[in-house]
Amino acid sequence: MPYGRHRIRTAVVGAVLAVAALAGCTSASPDPGSTAAPARKATPAPTPTPTPASRWDVSPASVAAVGDSVTRAFDACSLFADCPEASWATGTDPAVNSLALRLLGADRVAGNSWNLARSGARVAALPEQMARAAAERPGLVTVMIGANDACRPTPAGMTPVTDFRRSFEAALARLRKDAPEARVYVASVPDLHRLWDTGRANPVVRRVWELGVCGSMLADPLDPGAAAERRRTAVRDRVVAYNEVLAEVCAADELCRYDGGAVFGFRFDTSLLSTWDWFHPNRDGQARLAELAYRRITEK
């Protein structure tokens, strides 16, 4: 999810150097005296129809991953760079213990997993990624998409929900054309409002965010005004709507499992975020995503 990365690359480098001395002594905890407006409660996603045990494979022979920069482990290892070896889905770093490592074993990951995600991708790019995944005839496809659709410079640029649904449906249809028996794991979109609430009290985090990271949610992070609150609520509501689409479309596919909102509900504190952008998961955050996915995929 490298939101505006080409525009802010130079500025972030300067900011990181300028605030590095503060990073070790500034608390990431929210100000106890702050009064953030509570986010609207997420509408419960529809309960997916359970996949028959006879059709779901808890030990697939191969894994393909599609999605955005989280799956590419962007900023997990170095500034403004993908780090696929640390990917929650297909990485080889034993410290992350990716989904592919857990399902396939270290000896089989290299030849039996494919990371086809692209940093910066929105859901409109998913059908093309899914076509590439289908060509590998994978046993399992992981999907993590949608944060870039909500993280735009302003809420007006967010992907409409109808367009989001159309692209996700097209992506699954494209997979089924060439890989009808592939199982699919769909991760929910993270709660960007919770991210804002977690990091806004930290001046180091704010200084980086103010350079253009997810402006629709994170711009002016200390602004308590009504307009700012409406903006943040609009973004969170759109993320909730995207997750409802993911759940509904996945439930209509017998071989698809949605995570039930696990990623959306997970509390990513700053210890799990990259110190390059305070937005993407670091290696520890990637490991937690791998745990959530493995738990859902191996349920019987």
Contact 171, 127 (CB under 8 A): yes
So where are the chain's domains?
58-297
Calculate what percentage of the chain has a pLDDT beyond 70: 82
Most confident of the ranges 4-8, 22-26, 207-211: 207-211
pLDDT at 119 over 50: yes
CATH assignment, 58-297: 3.40.50.1110
Phi, psi for residue 193 in degrees, rounded to 5: -65, -40
Residue-wise pLDDT for 178-229, tens only, equals: 999 999 999 999 999 999 999 999 999 999 999 999 999 999 999 999 999 9
Q: Which residues contact 17 (CB under 8 A, 6 or more apart)?
A: none
User: What is the residue whose two structure tokens read 């903006």?
Assistant: 231
pLDDT at 53 over 70: no
DSSP string, the chain: --TTHHHHHHHHHHHHHHHHHHHTTS--SPPTT--PPPPPPPPPPPPPPPPPTTT--SS-S-EEEEESTTTTTTTSSSTT---GGG-TTT---TTT--HHHHHH-TTTHHHHEEE---TT--GGGHHHHHHHHHHT--SEEEEE--HHHH-SSSGGGSPPHHHHHHHHHHHHHHHHHH-TT-EEEEPPPP-HHHHHHHHTT-HHHHHHHTTTTTHHHHSSTT--SHHHHHHHHHHHHHHHHHHHHHHHHHHTSTTEEE-TTHHHHS---GGGB-TTTSSSB-HHHHHHHHHHHHHHHT--
SS (H, E, C) 53-107: CCCCCCCCCCEEEEECCCCCCCCCCCCCCCCHHHCCCCCCCCCCCCHHHHHHCCC
Q: In what order do the strands lie in the sheet with 63-67?
A: 113-115, 63-67, 140-144, 183-186, 256-258
Residue-wise pLDDT for 282-299, tens only, equals: 999 999 999 999 999 999
Calculate what percentage of the chain has a pLDDT beyond 90: 81
pLDDT at 34 over 60: no
pTM of the model as a whole: 0.85
| pLDDT band of 28, cuts 50, 70, 90 | very low
- CA 200 to CA 284: how far, in whole Å? 21
Contact 232, 213 (CB under 8 A): no
pLDDT at 180: 97
- Residue 188, burial from CB neighbour count under 10 angstroms (0-12, 13-18, 19+): buried
Contact 169, 243 (CB under 8 A): no
| pLDDT band of 55, cuts 50, 70, 90 | confident
pLDDT at 300: 84
Residue-wise pLDDT for 58-107, tens only, equals: 999 999 999 999 999 999 999 999 999 999 999 999 999 999 999 999 99
User: What is the residue whose two structure tokens read 């990716």?
Assistant: 98
